[in-house]
Amino acid sequence: MSARGVYRAMIGFYILLFFAFLFGPLIVMGITAFNTPTYPQVYPFERFTLEWFALLIGDQNLMTGMRNSLIIGLMVVSLSVPLGLAGAIVMTQIHARARSLYYLVVVSPVLTPGVILGISTVIFWSDVVDWTGTREQLFQGFFLATLGQSTFISAYCMLIFMSRLQRFDPAQEEAALDLGATRTQVFFHVLLPFLKPAILSAAVLAFLSSFENYNTTTFAILADKTLTTVLAGRVRQGTTPAISALAVLIIAVTLAGAVVYEVLRRREQARDDQRARAAAQAERADIAPLAGISHA
């Protein structure tokens, strides 16, 4: 075998190992969801069963947690997408040292351990509600978990918007202004449509990050529960294949979601490409007569 062949075989083997490490544990977990023994096991595989899935649906705590996670996820999306967008727009309008200071402040949550964001949120708001006398209304797990998670999820969203804004052509904005649009109209009819794919990505990312967050949530959720906090309690109590079954469901749902998202994104991409081609063609058509004149 040639040196190149050996090299390729080694690379192939390495990639195989890597993905075995990546998927092995998940596949093992997946198999245990369909096996009968009460301790999750793959081998020996006794009998195929769906009873663990049935058990899951009857689990009141888990279902409440799931519902709460969905609600919090939606609240996080509706808070952190606008915050991230504002953060990114402000970033494009300031310069030099002001920009570095601002960047440091708004990006710091990405680099702060999640537990610390949860802790600081709870401490701060527990005093704020005391001063304002709103403990009853505001000192709630839902509210605090949403705020705590949005602290860093907004920064994720901001980074997504920033990379999209880099490709924004200010000429579009100027054209709209010249045609008599107000600044507010420009924002809603020029900037937001341009940012639509980024808004979609940010919303999906925000929801997923919120849904699977544990570190911040476990501090901020107080007496309420989310899917992850219920799960953490369950897993610590003991292992049951019902949890594997839940994992299988989550993987199935997210995979379906990912496929839908990917299809939507591809379609958007194709439309963008088409538009770019059309624009290029139009431009060529514009230039052609000029070229003709110069030749003549």
Partner 1 sequence: MSNPVTSAALFALPLVVAGLFWLLTLRERCRAGVGASQGFVHRNGPVIATYLVVAVGFWALFMIVWPLLYMVDYSFHRKLPPSRRGGPADVYTLENYWYFVYGSTRVFTSFNWIHINAFWQTILVSVVITIANFAICYPLAYYMAQVAQPAKLRALLLLLIVPYWVNEILRAFAFLILFGTGGTLNAIMIGLGLIDAPIDFIGANVALYAGLTYAYLLLMIFPLYNAIESLDRNQIEAARDLGAPWWHIHLNVVMPFAKPGIASGCTLVFMLVAGSLAAPLVLGGPKTLWFTPIVYDRFYQAFNWQQGSAYAIILLLTCIAFVMMVMRIFKVSLSEITR
Kindly identify the residues of this chain, within the stretch 38-97, that bind partner 1 according to CB under 8 A. Answer: 39-43, 82-83, 85-87, 89-90, 93-97
- How far is the C-alpha of 153 from the C-alpha of 147, rounded, in Å? 10
**Which has the closest alpha carbon to 218: 208, 234, 230, 205?**
230
Beta carbon of residue 276, minimum distance to partner 1 (angstroms, whole number): 19
Note whether 187 binds partner 1 by CB under 8 A.
yes
Of the candidate residues 9, 16, 20, 22, the single one contacting partner 1 (CB under 8 A): 22
- From 32-40, 45-53, 133-141, 286-294, span contacting partner 1 (CB under 8 A): 32-40
Question: Which residue carries 């999209």 as its tokens?
Answer: 164
Residue nearer to partner 1 on the CB measure, 74 or 249: 249
Of the candidate residues 6, 67, 124, 287, the single one contacting partner 1 (CB under 8 A): 124
Of the candidate residues 71, 74, 107, 200, the single one contacting partner 1 (CB under 8 A): 107
- How far is the C-alpha of 120 from the C-alpha of 114, rounded, in Å? 10
- Label residue 277 exposed, middle or buried (CB < 10 Å: 0-12, 13-18, 19+): exposed
Note whether 28 binds partner 1 by CB under 8 A.
yes
Binding mask 217-256 for partner 1 (x = CB under 8 A): -xx-------xx--xx--xx--x---xx-xx--xx--xx-
CB atoms within 10 A of CB 190: 18
- From 28-36, 49-57, 59-67, 193-201, span contacting partner 1 (CB under 8 A): 28-36
Binding mask 130-169 for partner 1 (x = CB under 8 A): -----------------x--xx--x----x----------
Q: State the sign of the Cα–Cα–Cα–Cα dihedral 85, 87, 93, 95.
A: negative
Note whether 115 binds partner 1 by CB under 8 A.
yes
Q: What is the DSSP string of 175-226?
A: HHHHTT--HHHHIIIIIHHHHHHHHHHHHHHHHHHHHT--HHHHHHTTT---
Note whether 264 binds partner 1 by CB under 8 A.
no
- How far is the C-alpha of 131 from the C-alpha of 127, rounded, in Å? 6
Beta carbon of residue 58, minimum distance to partner 1 (angstroms, whole number): 20
